[in-house]
Amino acid sequence: MSLDSEVVIIGSGPVGSTIAYYLSQKNLDVTLVDKKNQIGYPLQCAGILSKHIFDYNELPDNLILNTVKGAFLHTQNHILKVEKQENAAYIIDRIAYDEHLFKRAIENGVKFINEKAIDYDIENGITYLSHGTQINSKVIIGCEGYNSGLSQKMGNTQSNFNASQMLVEISDENIQSFRDSIASIDEYVDTYLTNDILPGFLWVIPLGNNQFRVGLFSNHTHKQQNDMLNDFLNQNFEYEIIEKYKGFIPIFNEKNLLVKGHAVLIGDAAGQVKPTSGGGLLIGFDACEMASRHVANAVENDDINLLRDYQKEFHKKYHKEFSYQFKVQRTLGLLSDEDLDYFFMKLRQNDCERIISEYGDMDKQSTLVKEFIKRGLIFKIMPTFLFKKIINIFGFR
């Protein structure tokens, strides 16, 4: 069977459903394809979104499970507390959110095909599906997540971190003694940094009612991560595991193309994930807004060369920020567990809890790094023997 559609989108995750909705709002004929039988499953997300979510997409109140205002940042022997006056982030029901975004697209006229895309002809705009259907379109948008077949077809190289997460029940007293604080349990997330986990980190995210998402991303296998999470839980808490999940976090590669021929990539398929935190939803939604303008322009003018403006706009907006985040990641990667302890001790001595609370932004770490540089703090908080390497990483003169 052969079908025609102005735009075909592969993957009805949050990013695919969002770009589908935006394009249907621009009155384009859009077909969304997904191989999954149930939207949103299995859960592969910690579900934390900064307050900036409302700048990029809707988030209905009933999908917010909890609101947090700060974090306890742990190394093996030190804890820092950073917080905002107002809400800093939302913890969401990610499965229900995916369902909501999908429903919004369908209700706005997007067609849906429940099949797997198995091949693409990106020079002629053809998508081949698993049951023999062929879709001819002016634009093919790959939103298939971390292992994008369309990205491979475009000649890109993809790489990912493994990520693992557990839904765990932990008592208030356990959390308080882990934080060494009686601060309101559900208003803070915890992060835990060790040399072994870097360039990733471990998180503990409160959902309310003594339930927490405890997870990590790192260079380890899923099996090793499972053992690391069990060790972490055993060392710090009495707990009960309710569910386990695993997934992948793409690593952004600036050499990869976002556009080639009739093909466009967005979201995890494009590696559009914050290097330091692994968060992909806000950037993915921002890229949807950018791409929707350029895709509509290309379709209306019947000129696929105009798609390239999306790639230019994305790189212009995110190149510098990603580069800062990779530098932060490389710098932290130099630190042993003792160095991490030293680093946290120095942060506290130099009033950095207050500075991080004021300038820290989970979406844009360059603001904080620039503030540290401006205040001459970098060399006050890092072990002396690393100065030369840090100078090289940041290109200081």
Ligand X SMILES: Cc1cc2nc3c(=O)[nH]c(=O)nc-3n(C[C@H](O)[C@H](O)[C@H](O)COP(=O)(O)OP(=O)(O)OC[C@H]3O[C@@H](n4cnc5c(N)ncnc54)[C@H](O)[C@@H]3O)c2cc1C
Distance CA 274, CA 250 (A): 9
Contacts of ligand X in 174-233 (CB under 6 A): 215
Residue 35 interacts with ligand X (CB under 6 A)?
yes
Q: Which of 44, 325, 331, 357 binds ligand X (CB under 6 A)?
A: 44
44 or 377: CB nearest ligand X: 44
Contact (Cβ atoms closer than 8 angstroms) between residue 46 and residue 93? no
Please count the CA atoms within 13 angstroms of the CA of 56 that sit on its side-chain side. 20
Residue 340 interacts with ligand X (CB under 6 A)?
no
Distance CA 256, CA 264 (A): 12
Q: Which of 99, 144, 286, 363 binds ligand X (CB under 6 A)?
A: 144
Q: How far is the CB of 49 from ligand X (least distance, A)?
A: 6
Q: Which of 3, 25, 29, 36 binds ligand X (CB under 6 A)?
A: 36
Task: Count residues binding ligand X (CB under 6 A).
Answer: 38
28 or 45: CB nearest ligand X: 45
Contacts of ligand X in 153-182 (CB under 6 A): 163, 165
Helices and strands (H, E) in the chain, number of each type: 13, 18
Residue 52 interacts with ligand X (CB under 6 A)?
no
Q: Which of 11, 70, 125, 200 binds ligand X (CB under 6 A)?
A: 11
Distance CA 231, CA 216 (A): 13
- Nearest C-alpha neighbor of 32 from the set 114, 124, 155: 114
Both tokens of 393, joined, read: 């990483």
Residue 48 interacts with ligand X (CB under 6 A)?
yes
Beta strands 30-33 and 2-10 are parallel
Residue 117 interacts with ligand X (CB under 6 A)?
yes
Contact (Cβ atoms closer than 8 angstroms) between residue 279 and residue 48? yes
Beta strands 201-208 and 79-83 are unpaired
Residue 145 interacts with ligand X (CB under 6 A)?
yes
Residue 34 interacts with ligand X (CB under 6 A)?
yes
92 or 368: CB nearest ligand X: 92
Q: List Cβ neighbours of 177 (8 Å cut-off, separation of 6 or more).
A: none
Residue 143 interacts with ligand X (CB under 6 A)?
yes
Burial degree of 392 (CB within 10 A; 0-12, 13-18, 19+):
exposed
Part in contact with ligand X (CB under 6 A); list of ranges 24-32, 188-196, 280-288, 385-393: 280-288
H or E, element range at 91:
strand 89-92
Contacts of ligand X in 313-332 (CB under 6 A): none
12 or 75: CB nearest ligand X: 12
Part in contact with ligand X (CB under 6 A); list of ranges 42-50, 173-181, 305-313, 344-352: 42-50
Q: Which of 7, 8, 9, 10 binds ligand X (CB under 6 A)?
A: 10
Sign (positive/negative) of CA torsion 341, 346, 351, 352?
negative
Q: How far is the CB of 376 from ligand X (least distance, A)?
A: 33
Distance CA 296, CA 146 (A): 25
- Nearest C-alpha neighbor of 70 from the set 172, 206, 201, 178: 206
**Site residues, ligand X (CB under 6 A):** 10-16, 33-36, 44-49, 116-117, 143-145, 149, 163, 165, 215, 247-249, 267-269, 273, 278-281, 284
